[in-house]
Amino acid sequence: MNGLVEILGLTKAYDEHHVAVSNISLTLPRGKIIGLLGPNGSGKTTLIKMLNGLLMPTAGSIRIGGKPVGVETKAHVSYLPDRTYLSGNKKVKQILDYFADFYKDFSRERAVGMLQSLGIEPDARMNTLSKGTKEKVQLILVMSRQADLYVLDEPIAGVDPAARDYILRTILNNYNPNSSVLISTHLIGDIEQVLDEVIFMRYGHLVLYTSVDNVREKHGKSVDAYFREVFAC
Amino acid sequence: MAWVFDDGRPIYAQLVEQLQLKIVSGVYPPGEKLPSVRELAAEAAVNPNTMQKAFAELEKSGLVITQGTNGRVVTQDGERIQDNRQALARQQGKAYFSGMERLGYARGRAMEFLQDMAGEVRE
């Protein structure tokens, strides 16, 4: 079977001096939880935006489920951006309506169930929720879709450890052998045991793509420790 | 997140050890049906593929048996469980002696030390 995501010679240059992603080729399989790791400015978010069709590559191509990124692939990619995009004065349940309207693969039942288990009121307005709760609501929305690929940009930054555990458990509970989850983060230690594979990026280049247990076996240290070594300043 | 992992070794290998321990210590008695991969992965907060790999390892060693669609059970073969217990005990022994060696205790002295300690612990 072909990979879920096929990236070939992908490059994004904002201008000739600012190459954010440089000639990356990569095939991601189905059924994996994959960490996208790299220091600030390594090109993670630029890559993610190209996967979602929010930025056009300067060169190279991306195929998801065999199709070039576009309207069709967007219906099968569930994306959690690194900043909020939900309108503050909307109620949680109104946002559920939006998602149900927008995405055929959205399960309101699943979302309502998860909101309930966290004690989040569907009648609450987004701007009355704490930062951590808002992030949980957004993750719940994104994970309530029946997508092929989930792309989570920094889902655990800026939330407390209990919320982080909840987020990781939500990702694990929604695991499905036909879809993959790509999680970008620089907080590796917290999510290492949840990941199958890791992608290391630096200065827009692909440094390494391997399994977590491979790193541990080969280098006798955690991915977190190895990352600090590779990217030591 | 009750399961704890150390840094330097593959997570699946640590899962194998912890599951072995649960079997030889009787947390999962012989013949008992084991929780599903998904359930155990959620409990340990690890990736389901990693848990799957650990189970494959336990099946290879014969400690765990797959019964078709019925899921997995602990072997009823007492001898096999006993062998495993002994293998784990050997690891403990090795770790003790190599730790003592680093502290400058030769084999004999490490043995004596252990005997003295056993007396203390009993009291």
Question: Chain A interface, mutation test: which of B6, B12, B50, most A Cβ atoms within 10 Å?
Answer: B50
Q: Is B45's CB within 8 Å of A169's CB? A: yes
Sequence-ordered list of residues with C-beta below 8 angstroms from that of A39, at least 6 positions apart, any chain: A186, A202, A231
The full set of domain ranges for chain A reads: 5-230
Query: Token pair of B30, please?
Result: 């012989």
pLDDT at A173: 85
Rounded Cα distance, B55 and A60, in Å: 40
The sign of the CA dihedral B28, B29, B30, B35 is negative
DSSP A141-176: HHHTB--SEEEEESTTTTS-HHHHHHHHHHHHHT--
Measured CA to CA in angstroms, residue A107 lies from A139, A147, A213, A229 at distances of 13, 11, 34, 42
Residue of A nearest to B5 (CA): A193
Q: Is B42's CB within 8 Å of A216's CB? A: no
Question: For the segment A156-213, what is each residue's pLDDT rounded down to a tens digit?
Answer: 777 778 878 888 888 888 888 899 999 998 888 888 989 999 999 999 999 999 999 9
Give the residue ranges of DSSP H helices in chain B. 11-24, 37-44, 48-60, 78-102, 107-122
User: Does A221 contact chain B (CB < 8 Å)?
Assistant: yes
pLDDT at B1: 41
A137 within 8 A of A93, measured Cβ to Cβ: no
Average pLDDT of chain A is 90
Q: Distance between the two ends of chain B, CA-based, in angstroms?
A: 35
- In CATH, the number for domain A5-230 is 3.40.50.300
pLDDT at A1: 52
Residue B123: pLDDT over 70: no
A149 within 8 A of A180, measured Cβ to Cβ: yes
Residue A125: pLDDT over 70: yes
In the DSSP assignment, the letter for residue A91 is B
Instruction: Note the Cα A107 to chain centre separation in Å.
Output: 19
Angle in degrees, CA B14, B19, B25, rounded to 5: 125
Question: In this complex, which of A32, A168, A220 lies closest to B8 when CB atoms are compared?
Answer: A220
Which amino acid, B110? A
Rounded Cα distance, A123 and A135, in Å: 17
ipTM over cut 0.85? no
In the DSSP assignment, the letter for residue A193 is G
pLDDT at A47: 96
CB-side neighbour CA atoms (13 Å) of A206: 17
Residue of A nearest to B43 (CA): A169
pLDDT at A233: 66
A143 within 8 A of A137, measured Cβ to Cβ: no
Total Cβ atoms within 10 A of residue A75: 15
Question: In this complex, which of B8, B12, B47 lies closest to A33 when CB atoms are compared?
Answer: B47
pLDDT at A175: 86
Q: Is B10's CB within 8 Å of A217's CB? A: yes
Interface of B with A (CB under 8 A): 1, 5, 7-13, 38, 41-42, 44-50, 53
**Strand, coil or helix: A19:** strand
Query: Token pair of B120, please?
Result: 């203390």
CB-side neighbour CA atoms (13 Å) of B118: 6
Question: For the segment B79-89, what is each residue's pLDDT rounded down to a tens digit?
Answer: 999 999 999 99
User: Does A28 contact chain B (CB < 8 Å)?
Assistant: no
Question: For the segment B38-53, what is each residue's pLDDT rounded down to a tens digit?
Answer: 889 988 989 999 999 9
